[in-house]
Structure 1
């Protein structure tokens, strides 16, 4: 069971932003109503044109479904069941192409992968923990030609593909090196159904002002509005959601990806911090929140000690132990009514093709398969929310339906607004440490929002210099 997903180290410079956590799949509830998209193919020239060690194929073929081939997918043990499910579903659709898993222990995956990519026995399909390193060393395939042939940029939200793009040594834009569909956890607002009914919350708030109105009603009725743990800095989930709302997902992601000119020291970030401070001063958190750890916060929420819980859908297995059916979830509302949804996630359907792969065209067909409803269904069955394209007509988030429906709907709402971003902590390990400290000081009234933002920006800038 995966608890709080410790933000991965940065995948820029020595930080390696977006290094994947090699741990067993989180118990993320996901909806069954998937956004469908017919997979399309474009004619190309050549057969398996991306031959061994060609890191930038230009003549590619999408007509390889009936050509026998055997692909190797390098999998961490914790993801084996999920990735075997993807392989089986792909083979059911393309029986002439076999996909064999090569499984490595979770704690060895990151160490073994670079060596394998540089070897003559490289796997074809991988999830690189260090995208920049793989690109710099010509170990990964430039997927631009396949992107054009299959139309991935039209099928998958740009914010879901951004972590797989590299330009001049920077993540987030430029050439595509990691692609697939879109699946991952939803970080949102969990709510106690009984307490929601008590305060008259019949629909999800559609703005921060609407959310504040709910918090005020709960406080007035003697209900703790927000359950959180801040001994471990997990108010950071809420803080990241506020940053995404006020800054915009693209500007928050730019910091994580170390894009030129990206900065946290902005009026929007200060406004997000001021909003959190206002909620602290209003008494919307338990008075001992700085002393609470994650386990204690779970107990408080499932014990009916608070209305809302800002967390990720990986917690559902823990909550379902004794709270199943008594809670729901909706996405963080936009800053303003009608504004874009934003939220942190990690794309579990994103894969790369080894530059030394002998079967690039077949491997690209596998990546294209990840944009289909069949692949999304595998993701759902393994505990993720998933979709296969921009949502053209998204069902509005509601408090009705099953928990899985609510998670899927929330994920789709964020996707439709191209609002996927990452945790600020992922920008550098030092930022994660400093953020926990600053959040604790904010709760105790020992730092003001503008000063907190400046401190975090200084920590970020210093981390970049040291790299």
Structure 2
């Protein structure tokens, strides 16, 4: 996982690790796997193990049906809100939650998907396994019927696509709307004013200029914890900026030929090293843990904190109204925005579901403002009015407003990606080690990138 906090679901080459998430305040589950295959038959016919339906109906809103949504306990409140909103729109269709303890969700799910009592709608932690074993429905026909690919940012749908055993392209197996945490730049309003930051930086150079002014004014520019490798949030943002979201996602999804060992990744690492050498971090950053970093930020001991919107649940307790957040600026002014997230409005339909068309209607409902409203009410950023013309990131408005704007800005550029740690557990371990060495001056950027690539390549071979 990206860090030891309640954060976003993360999918590796074969599995999605689901851990409790508090997007601004929500939750998910944890991960392991086993699966078995299911025979096929026709969609909507009562015998419903057809993993690839071709004839689907969208005219089912007035047809009585009861859908079962398999939910982890930590997501129950959020998913019940979605179920209630859907039922309010389509009164003849009920959505009943089947709730499982977070720690049991991933163990129970494969067995349920292969059983005759399968739920209709799930959030699979192992998308590749579910597709391989014909436990999940190919949603291409529903995508075409409802036009999801035109409604939802491509980068939000990509983690639900599978082609030849690789996530990121091909047929759609997980779909819905677009909602999740924003990982960006949190700032202390008082210190930002002292550093002369009057507008949101629009490039890495602009961000550096603010940090240089802060440093010259006696303000520590960046608060971070690196005892647990959480400078990794900043590093991932820099990788997304320099490599581009798609290439970073290709690594996480184990696309053949994807590699971290590139000039762009080295450049991102050099940028981080430059900030370390410039003294933009506290001298004891390698000994600080996550909780201590939150205390430093809310204690006014640093200007910026590169984190995810889940932290608002923690820092609002004594810092509400005193901070803001904006998306990581592009590498160059006018460039594309990128940032890590996970799509909490993405769901799959079980291959053995007897109500595929009604389930397809539920997935389509997740693309609507009504579903986005539920997501926002549960603390997520969500797209509520498309991505064609998002508001410009601003220092004004509430933190919630800024989170929504930042998320929409990244969505408009199809810039959603994931944490490189999610490529494999070994990569996460190696990254923490390498970040600590980089801070202590014991590794150079090119060598660090090669070490991470070597670990990644070994993980891909063994997976």
1:41 alignment counterpart:
none
Can you list the C-alpha shifts for 1:271-290, whole angstroms capped at 9, x where unaligned? 00000000000000000000
8 Å Cα contact 2:10-2:418 kept in structure 1: no
User: Match for residue 34 of structure 1?
Assistant: none
The answer as to 2:292 corresponding to 1:278 is no
- Distance, in Å, in 1 between the alignment partners of 2:406 and 2:124 is 28
Partner of 1:82: 78
- Give the drift of 1:214: 0.3
Question: How far off its partner does 1:6 sit?
Answer: 6.2
Residue of structure 1 equivalent to 2:33: none
Taking a change above 3 Å as real, the CA distance of residues 24 and 254 of structure 1, as seen in their structure-2 partners, is closer
Taking the TM superposition and a 5 Å limit, the aligned residue runs for 1:30-45 are none
Equivalent residues in 2 for 1:286-365, closer than 5 Å: 286-365=282-361
CA spacing shift, 1:122–1:139, aligned 2, 3 Å: same
Structure 1 residues 431-452: Cα deviation after superposition (integer angstroms, max 9, x where no partner): 0000000000000000000000
State the SS of the aligned residue for 2:410: helix
| Helix, strand or coil at the partner of 1:340 | coil
* CA distance, structure 1, for counterparts of residue 340 and residue 167 of structure 2: 17
Tell me, in whole angstroms, the C-alpha distance in 2 between the residues paired with 1:328 and 1:25: 18
- Which runs of structure 1 show a deviation greater than 4 angstroms over 4 or more consecutive aligned residues? 5-10
Secondary structure in 1 matching 2:286: helix
**Aligned residue in 2 for 1:258:** 254
CA distance in 2, matches of 1:106, 1:185: 20
Shift of 1:25: 3.9
User: Hey, what does 1:12 align to over in structure 2?
Assistant: 13
Change (3 A) 1:345 1:132: same
Q: Would you say the 8 A contact 2:51–2:134 is kept in 1? A: yes
**3-state SS, counterpart of residue 122 of structure 1:** coil
Counterpart of 1:421 in structure 2 is 417
**DSSP 3-state at the match of 2:17:** coil
Q: Please report how far the alpha carbon of residue 227 of structure 1 lies from its aligned counterpart in structure 2 after TM superposition.
A: 0.2
- CA change 1:61–1:123 in 2 (3 A) is same
- The 3 A distance-change label for structure 1 pair 137 and 74 is same
Partner of 2:201 in structure 1? 205
Higher normalized contact order (CA 8 Å, seq sep 6+, divided by chain length):
1
Where does 1:363-402 land on structure 2 (aligned, <5 Å)?
A: 363-388=359-384, 390-402=386-398
Match for residue 158 of structure 2 among 143, 162, 180? 162
State the match for 2:56 in structure 1: 60
CA RMSD in angstroms comes to: 1.6
- The answer to whether the aligner puts 1:461 opposite 2:450 as a matched pair is no
Shift of 1:391: 1.1
Structure 1 spans left out of the alignment, 5+ residues: 30-45
Change (3 A) 1:8 1:346: closer
Do the aligned partners of 1:165 and 1:178 also contact (CA within 8 Å) in 2?
yes
Relative to structure 1, is the Cα distance of residues 47 and 450 closer, same or farther in structure 2, using a 3 angstrom cutoff?
A: closer
1:390 is displaced (CA, Å) by: 4.5
The residue matched to 1:438 in structure 2 has which SS? helix
Q: What are the ranges of 5 or more consecutive residues in structure 2 without an aligned counterpart?
A: 27-41
Distance in 2 separating the partners of 1:276 and 1:51: 56
Encode CA deviations 1:223-275: one digit per residue, 9 max, x unaligned: 00000000000000000000000000000000000001100000000000000
Query: Which residue number corresponds to residue 102 of structure 1?
Result: 98
Structure-2 separation of matches of 1:391 and 1:6? 24
Tell me whether 1:72 sits opposite 2:73 in the alignment.
no
TM-score, normalised to structure 2's length?
A: 0.94
Cα distance, 1:26 vs structure 2: 3.9
Q: TM-score, normalised by structure 1?
A: 0.93
> In the aligned structure 1, how far is the partner of 2:22 from the partner of 2:65?
29
Q: What's the counterpart of residue 122 of structure 1?
A: 118
Q: How many residues align?
A: 446
Deviation by residue 1:53-91 (Cα, 9 ceiling, x = unmatched): 000000000000000000000000000000000000000
Please report how far the alpha carbon of residue 216 of structure 1 lies from its aligned counterpart in structure 2 after TM superposition.
Answer: 0.2
